Amino acid sequence: MANPSILILPGDGIGPEVMAEVRKIIDWFGAKRGLVFDVSEDLIGGAAYDAHGVPLTDEALAKAQTVDAVLLGAVGGPKYDNLDFALKPERGLLRIRKEMDLFSNLRPAQCFDALADFSSLKRDVVAGLDIMIVRELTSGVYFGEPRGIFTEGNERVGINTQRYTESEIARVARSAFELAKRRNNKVCSMEKANVMESGILWREVVQKVHDEEYPEVELSHMYADAGAMQLCRWPKQFDVIVTDNLFGDILSDCAAMLTGSLGMLPSASLGAPMANGRPKALYEPVHGSAPDIAGRGKANPIACILSFAMALRYSFDQGVEADRLERAVETVLAKGLRTADLMGPEGGKPVSTSEMGDAIVAALDADAN
158-189: per-residue pLDDT in tens?
999 999 999 999 999 999 999 999 999 999 99
Instruction: Please say if 253 is a catalytic residue.
Output: yes
Strand order in the sheet with 130-136: 38-41, 5-11, 69-74, 279-285, 266-273, 104-110, 130-136, 240-243, 186-191, 218-223
Q: How many Cα atoms are found within 13 Å in the side-chain-facing hemisphere of 165?
A: 7
Instruction: Please say if 142 is a catalytic residue.
Output: yes
Instruction: Please say if 186 is a catalytic residue.
Output: no
Please give the share of the chain, as a percent, with pLDDT higher than 90. Answer: 82
CA-closest candidate to residue 259, choices 113, 106, 73, 132: 113
Q: Which of 88, 192, 280, 298 is catalytic?
A: 192
Q: Which of 27, 101, 117, 253 is catalytic?
A: 253
pLDDT at 237 over 70: yes
How far from the centroid of its chain's Cα atoms is residue 210's Cα? 25
Measure the CA–CA gap between 102 and 280, rounded to whole angstroms: 7
Instruction: Please say if 249 is a catalytic residue.
Output: yes
Q: Omega into 350 within 30° of 0, i.e. cis?
A: no
Q: Which of 117, 130, 225, 358 is catalytic?
A: 225
332-359: per-residue pLDDT in tens?
999 999 998 887 766 689 999 999 999 9
pLDDT of residue 114: 84
Q: Are 144 and 160 in contact (CB under 8 A)?
A: yes
Q: Which of 49, 80, 142, 283 is catalytic?
A: 142
31-76: per-residue pLDDT in tens?
999 999 999 999 999 999 999 999 999 999 999 999 999 999 999 9
CA-closest candidate to residue 259, choices 106, 109, 128: 109
Q: 250: pLDDT confidence band, cut at 50, 70 and 90?
A: very high
Q: Which of 12, 68, 239, 249 is catalytic?
A: 249
Domains along the sequence of the chain with CATH? 1-108+265-369 (3.40.718.10), 130-258 (3.40.718.10)
The overall average pLDDT reported for the chain is 94
Instruction: Please say if 214 is a catalytic residue.
Output: no
pLDDT of residue 120: 79
pTM above 0.75, yes or no: yes
